[in-house]
Amino acid sequence: MTATADPPQLAELTTALATHRLINVCGPLGVGKTHLVESLSTATRVDALALADGPGLLADPAAGHGAGEHRPAETAVARGTASRPGVRPETARSAAPPLGTRRRGGERADRPSPAAGDGVADVHRGTVGAVIASEACMGGGALVVDEADAPGRLGTVRAVVDHYPGQVVVVTRKPLASYPVWSGLDMATIRVGPLPDARIDEAARDAGIADPAVRAWVTRTAGGIPLVVHAAARALRAGVPPTVPGALADRIAQELLERLGRESPGRRWQHALRRLATAGSADEAGLAGGPELFTLVSGLSVVVPGPLGLSIAEPYREILELAYAWRQPDGHRKVRDRTAIRALARLSEEADAERRAALAEQALFLTAPAPVRATLFPPVPGNRPVHQATAADADDIARLMRQWSHRSGFAPDRAERVVDRWSATDISSFHLVRDEEGRLVGLANLMPIADHTADSIEPLLQQHSDAIIGDRRGGLLLGAAFGTDRAAHARILRHTLAVGTRAGDLVVSTANPDYLNLLRALRFDPHGPLRDDLYRSGRAPEVYSNDFTAGSGRHWLQRFAGIPDAPTAEVVAAALHAIDDPAALATSPLLTSPITPTATALRRWLHAMIAELAAAADPVTAESGTILAAYYTRPSATHVQVASRLHLSRATYFRRLRHGLALIATRHRHDQRAAHG
């Protein structure tokens, strides 16, 4: 955010002040909410942290203070210094409706009675008297309460809102309407979102980052968050070398963690946040800190829930992971590798299509080389919802597809004919992403491979049509994917892979050189170019495909990551049967690996793996390790005896046994890959 530019939402806030008594300005950490409210020339800003802690707030302003005596609450009041024109307070107040109408007896009609434990303070007007009577507030204008959703502050801020006679602007990271204490109130909500890259680049230049390459890195990493730009500038001025991105990220991360500390005092969650940033997603077992830590981390404003547990919103995740990889490269690598092993093992066993798609995305995130990761997982906010099109979307689709055609260098008339045919065949084959204002910013055409779509599919497959339609019926054909910005582009590509995973088969026909490079990097199977240059672009489209069904999907990810084929669970079981027989162990195929080159090394490695599984935080994995130890290291024990001792049914026992064998097989493959470098 430049020092002179008006925030994009200033006009919206000014309008809201003319019509509402209560306004909530909300947005993610460091996005520029305080800068926005300080742009009002007639506002008085109060820090919610000081409000809650200042004893003067909870006293009658007429009592307990002598003439000239300092009032603690007044230290929290600071008038905005910006000289921009704002709304006149008397105009705003006369136009603004009251927060509630009075019922007989003085009760506010729209204020619900506080329930026990809801955080609403039981106060009288004197509670906020120190603020109301302070000299700064007597000047009129809106009262701005910043950091309002800090721990323990919401109840006190609600008391301020209920009793302050003028307008109140409450600044939070999460929308006030998401808190029960604030339900039922008439308020305007102003959402402050990330800035576009061009504004971030301008802010970086204004902050003194002159080198274009460094400024480009800061712009990519900031993800539209001005705080990241200013933290990077401070780090550079402090002497952090711009050639060490991890060191820069570490200084930025320190500022982020300090800000997050206002949401959750203490440091216990900080290392968990670094692990979560590296893993991408984690459930309670993956976070490895128990239910209390999981709940603590889930309450942070940068953490969001997902199908596999918790995740960190971008760009905060990227910054925290870069910092962790620089500070503790071995620890970072272990978290990444262990999470990848767990995701691949779960992928082969997961029957639910939605969870399988999420696991495939996590495994891809953890194993992708830098160029693929930058395309699919850029450090920008934007996990926007995707919906299938209806007839009402046709005009927007046509407009965006014209942009797609122009960017791709296609002949407009040829591209338009193809798009018209797709729309006429099945408009719902277009999957759409819209921004917060409802503008269409991304789309993919994913045509079902079926008899009724054959005429629309044939031009995209030509000589490959018969084989693909016959073999991959029920799958999807991607004919186009386009996004107007990094966030929309990445979102639509990840969505395409997810729906391909759910469908089981994904076929792609494209002439776009960038997409062809991506498909090759993703190790999709090539079918070859088409006979005809469909779009008259000077290059014929090429056809690629991938099988995403459970077993094939896991093998594809292993191939993509360059992981050698794993030994089968049967090979691992045979080695465990011979764990105390050096002669038999010497015949194991596992000895061909550099990590287990001798019977002694293999025996030691197997014991270590069983112990690691038994000590795992995940209860299922730990139980699998316990079973392996009980059965294979105690030769006299039978399956029935071990199952009985552990109070497991036969089905559960053998399911856990197979799970443990599969984990060891996957770990052997992963360690072998690491040994090969």
What would the mean pLDDT of 187-213 be, rounded to a whole number? 95
Name the nearest CA neighbour of 141 among 71, 45, 33. Answer: 45
Average pLDDT over residues 176-187: 86
CB 420 within 8 A of CB 427: no
The HSE-up count of residue 311 (CA atoms within 13 Å, CB side) is: 17
Residue 110 has pLDDT above 50, yes or no: no
Same domain, 145 and 43: yes
Q: Do residues 398 and 260 share a domain?
A: no
Q: Is the dihedral of CA 621, 624, 630, 635 positive or negative?
A: negative
Q: Is residue 474 part of a domain?
A: yes
The alpha carbon torsion through 191, 197, 199, 201 (nearest 10 deg) reads 140
Amino acid letter, 524: F
Q: How far apart are CA 231 and CA 207, in angstroms?
A: 10
Residue bearing the bigger pLDDT, 198 or 635? 198
| Same domain, residue pair 524 and 420 | yes
Do 390 and 533 fall into the same domain? yes
Q: How far apart are the first and last CA of the chain?
A: 43
What are the tokens at 271?
């290392």
Query: Residues 344, 278: one domain?
Result: yes
378: preceding bond cis by omega (within 30 degrees): no
Examine residue 640 and state whether it is found in any structural domain, yes or no. Answer: yes
The parent domain of residue 320 ranges over 197-352
- Output the pLDDT for position 101: 29
Are residues 548 and 360 in contact, defined by beta-carbon separation less than 8 angstroms?
yes
pLDDT, tens digit, 9 for 90 and up, residues 499-543? 998 898 999 999 999 999 999 999 899 999 999 988 898 889 999
Q: Is residue 357 part of a domain?
A: no
Angle between helices 212-222 and 226-237 (to 10 degrees): 140
Q: Three-state DSSP class for 49?
A: helix
Task: Report d(CA 567, CA 481) in Å as an integer.
Answer: 38
**What is residue 543's three-state secondary structure?**
strand
Q: What is the pLDDT of residues 460-488, one digit of tens each?
A: 999 988 888 877 888 999 999 999 999 99
> How confident is the model over 254-299, as pLDDT tens digits?
999 999 998 888 788 999 999 999 999 999 988 888 899 999 999 9
Per-residue model confidence (pLDDT) at position 254: 97
pLDDT given at position 57: 39
Average pLDDT over residues 350-375: 89
Mean pLDDT of 420-443: 94
Convert 283-303 into a string of H (helix), E (strand) and C (coil).
Answer: CHHHHCCHHHHHHHHHCCCCE
pTM of the predicted structure, to 2 decimals:
0.73
- pLDDT band of 563, cuts 50, 70, 90: low
**Contact (Cβ atoms closer than 8 angstroms) between residue 280 and residue 327:** no
CA distance 2 to 205: 9
| Least confident span in 90-104, 419-433, 622-636 | 90-104
Q: Do 537 and 576 sit in the same domain of this protein?
A: no
For residues 185 and 215, membership in a common domain is answered with: no
Least confident of 211-225, 346-360, 598-612: 346-360
- Asked whether residue 132 falls in the same domain as residue 267, the answer is no
Same domain, 143 and 205: no
Residue 140, SS3 per DSSP: coil
Residue 137 has pLDDT above 60, yes or no: no
- Domain final position from 157, 191, 225: 191
Q: Are 25 and 107 in a shared domain?
A: yes
Domain CATH code at residue 433: 3.40.630.30
Residues 158 and 229 in one domain: no
406: amino acid identity, one letter = H
Per the CB < 8 A criterion, the answer to whether 593 and 668 are in contact is yes
Q: Is the C-alpha dihedral spanning 451, 455, 457, 458 positive or negative? A: positive
How many folded domains does the chain comprise? 4
- Specify the long-range contacts of residues 242-246, CB closer than 8 Å, at least 24 apart: 242/211, 242/213, 242/214, 242/217, 244/326, 245/217, 245/221, 245/322, 245/326, 246/322, 246/323, 246/325, 246/326, 246/327
The residue among 143, 164, 191 that closes a domain is 191
Burial class (CB in 10 A: 0-12, 13-18, 19+), 659: buried
Residue 551 resides in a domain: yes
In a domain? residue 375? no
pLDDT at 592: 76
Is 421 inside a domain boundary? Answer: yes
CA angle 58, 34, 41 (to 5 degrees): 90
